[in-house]
Each structure stands twice: as structure tokens, then as C-alpha cells.
């Protein structure tokens, strides 16, 4: 697992945490407390015996994370985040999602988790923190793999589109490969461009279903209107990505709206629902940024860049609601040197 012995790990753990390490541990703690609330509710409504072990596994991973992160924070004399508690979940609320949706949710959340954990590993210098995130990546990867297998077995895993294998290797001969999209004939999408369009259609479908469900159970008018707007934005983005794929005679995934019931009783607090929504928005901005940077057909790249700006403005609305209602917990931040200097006068 590691070439360092216990004494070396302990010695390194006496070095103060870097901003990166502190930030990733804080974010992981917040997400884990949210995950426990969500999985506690899922455990109560899920009837599928193949999915229940995945829910239990997800919850156990989060509980183990919280224990380890708490130990690190206590040693660093850093306050334990408030996060989310039993007060943020109504385990006895009626079913809001189908079992299939729960399965797809777990698989998609683990994809997001693997991306953020990988970045944490790359930016963690202290061995105990690096080991924690490496072991967490193994656990999350295994859970994702198990969820994928169950999805395949139940026929709910939507495979990305297939394209014919090329007969030969080609090299780009002119700038039309990048810019030739204004005329009647556009060059075909590359495999990478198809991947980003397909993946972002799927993530928007998931986000739309979650926000639609949250909107129908929220009792706070600010939150309700914010979620309705988010559902509309997700639907618009799905149509845009879908139209590009359809123009290329490439199939698109299905909407997940049918997996949301007509319940109007909230299983989660408005604070939790807003936090999860803003987390999904942040992940979406990251996905769009990666797509804009790797899609080589300029019209596709520009579409991702433009839509990223739209959801960034939407995210600001969400942050304002969180602040207004006192729900936005501050992440660790640097010292305000100017304020300290003024206090000394």
C-alpha cells in the first residue's frame, strides 16, 4: 500500500496541513455527511435487494471518512465542520425516486467522487493525507464498479454511442478541421467530442430529475424558484447537446424524469437540497470547462464555454440563497492580514 513505515507517516503528520490538503479534507467531510443523510433515506425506500448492499457500502465509506478526517482535524486543532446531521433528513418520507434512479445516482456520484479524489491525491504532500485519499479512491472505484455491474445486469446502464473503427491513421491537413462549421458540410464529430456531449447530456438529465424532485417537495419559495429555474436550464442544455448529436445521426440518452414520483413530502432539508444542487452545478462547470478545452471543433467548444457562463451565473444565485438563509458554511480560508493590521492600531 505504501513504502513508508508507520514512524515516517507519524513524523510527516506533524507537519501542518497545506491549504490544498485542508480544503480537500473539508470538502470530503461535507460531502460525506450529506451522503450519509441521502443513503439513510435511500435505505428506507429501496426494495431491490441488489441495490441495498451498494447503499450500505456508500454509507460505510462515508462514515469511515468522517472518522479519519475528524481525527486529523482534532490533531490540527481545526474545528470539525457542522456538515449535515439527522436533522437534515426525514428517513420516513414517502418514495421520491425509483430504485433504478437510486442505482444510477450512486454510479454517477462515484464518477464525480473519483475525479475530485484524484485531484486531492495529486495535491497532497503529507503521507497520512495522501494515503487516506488513495485508499478512498480504491473504495470509491470498487463501489462504482459494483454499481456498474448491477446496472448492466438490470439493463439500465446506457452505453455511450459506438462509431466505426477507422481503416487507417489520418492526420489533419488544414484548419478546416477546427473552423469548418459555418458551411453546409461540417466535419464529423471526433470520439472525444461525442464523449463530452453524451456525458454532459447524461449529467444534465440526472441534475434535472434531482432538481425537479427537490422543487416539488421544497417548502421555501426562494429554493423552489431556484430549483425550477435550474430544471429549465438543464432541460435547455440537454436539448442543445442532443441536437448536436442528432445532427450527426448519433443517439442520445433518455431523460430520467419518469424515475421521480409525485410525492410532495421532503426527505431532506432545504439546506441539504441547496448544497447538493450547488455541488452539482460546480461539477457541471468543471465538466464544461474540460469539454471546452478538449473539443477541437470550435462550434462545439464555444457551446460548452457559453453554457458554462450561464450555469456560473446560476450558481451565484444559489450562493446568495444559501447566504440569505444562513446555510452556507465557510470553507477554511486564509488570514485577513489587512484586518489584523488595522486591529493592531
Give the residue numbers spanning the domain of 55: 16-154
The structure's pTM equals 0.89
Are 217 and 272 within one domain?
Answer: yes
Are 202 and 282 within one domain?
Answer: yes
Distances (CA, A) of 204 to 125, 238, 251, 340: 35, 6, 16, 44
**DSSP state, residue 259:** G
Distances (CA, A) of 190 to 156, 162, 165, 183, 238: 26, 12, 12, 18, 19
Q: Around Cβ 177, how many Cβ atoms within 10 Å?
A: 15
Q: How many domains does the chain have?
A: 2
Are 31 and 125 within one domain?
Answer: yes
Residue pLDDT, tens place only, 231-289? 999 999 999 999 999 988 998 888 999 999 999 999 999 999 999 999 999 999 999 99
Residue pLDDT, tens place only, 23-82? 999 999 999 999 999 999 999 999 999 999 999 999 999 999 999 999 999 999 999 999
Are 147 and 191 within one domain?
Answer: no
Rounded distance between C-alpha atoms, residue 26 and residue 81, angstroms: 7
The verdict on residue 9 lying in a domain is no
Are 34 and 125 within one domain?
Answer: yes
The verdict on residue 162 lying in a domain is no
State residue 184's pLDDT score: 55
Final residue of a domain: which of 107, 129, 154?
A: 154
Are 113 and 192 within one domain?
Answer: no
Q: Are 277 and 193 in contact (CB under 8 A)?
A: no
The verdict on residue 339 lying in a domain is no
Are 147 and 223 within one domain?
Answer: no
Question: For position 251, which CATH number holds?
Answer: 1.20.1260.10
Are 200 and 105 within one domain?
Answer: no
State residue 10's pLDDT score: 55
Which of the pair, 194 or 334, is modelled with greater confidence?
194
Amino acid at each position: 500500500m505504501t513504502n513508508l513505515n508507520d514512524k515516517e507517516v507519524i513524523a510527516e503528520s506533524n507537519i501542518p496541513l497545506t491549504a490544498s490538503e485542508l480544503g480537500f479534507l473539508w470538502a470530503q467531510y461535507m460531502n460525506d455527511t450529506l451522503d450519509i443523510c441521502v443513503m439513510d433515506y435511500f435505505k428506507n425506500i429501496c426494495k431491490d435487494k441488489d441495490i441495498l448492499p451498494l447503499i450500505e457500502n456508500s454509507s460505510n465509506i462515508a462514515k469511515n471518512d468522517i472518522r479519519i478526517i475528524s481525527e486529523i482535524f482534532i490533531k490540527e486543532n481545526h474545528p470539525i465542520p457542522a456538515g449535515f446531521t439527522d436533522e437534515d433528513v426525514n428517513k420516513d418520507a414517502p418514495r421520491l425516486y425509483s430504485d433504478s434512479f437510486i442505482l444510477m445516482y450512486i454510479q454517477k456520484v462515484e464518477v464525480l467522487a473519483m475525479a475530485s479524489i484524484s485531484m486531492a491525491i495529486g495535491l497532497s504532500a503529507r503521507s497520512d493525507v495522501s494515503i487516506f485519499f488513495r485508499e478512498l479512491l480504491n473504495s470509491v472505484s470498487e463501489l462504482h464498479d459494483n454499481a456498474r455491474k448491477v446496472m448492466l445486469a438490470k439493463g439500465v446502464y446506457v452505453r455511450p454511442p459506438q462509431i466505426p473503427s477507422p481503416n487507417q491513421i489520418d492526420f489533419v491537413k488544414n484548419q478546416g478541421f477546427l473552423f469548418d462549421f459555418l458551411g453546409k458540410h461540417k466535419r464529423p464529430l471526433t470520439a472525444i467530442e461525442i464523449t463530452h456531449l453524451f456525458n454532459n447530456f447524461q449529467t444534465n438529465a440526472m441534475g434535472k430529475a434531482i432538481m425537479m424532485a427537490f422543487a416539488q417537495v421544497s417548502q421555501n419559495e426562494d429554493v423552489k424558484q431556484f430549483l425550477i429555474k435550474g430544471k429549465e436550464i438543464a432541460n435547455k442544455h440537454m436539448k442543445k447537446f442532443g441536437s448536436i448529436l442528432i445532427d450527426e445521426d448519433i443517439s442520445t440518452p433518455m431523460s430520467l424524469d419518469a424515475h421521480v414520483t409525485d410525492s410532495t413530502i421532503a426527505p431532506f432539508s432545504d439546506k441539504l437540497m441547496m448544497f447538493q444542487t450547488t455541488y452539482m452545478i460546480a461539477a457541471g462547470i468543471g465538466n464544461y470547462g474540460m469539454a471546452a478545452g478538449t473539443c477541437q471543433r470550435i462550434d462545439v467548444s464555444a457551446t460548452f464555454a457559453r453554457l458554462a457562463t450561464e450555469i456560473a451565473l446560476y450558481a451565484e444565485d444559489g450562493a446568495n440563497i444559501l447566504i440569505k438563509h444562513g446555510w452556507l458554511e465557510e470553507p477554511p480560508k486564509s488570514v485577513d492580514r489587512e484586518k489584523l493590521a488595522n486591529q493592531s492600531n
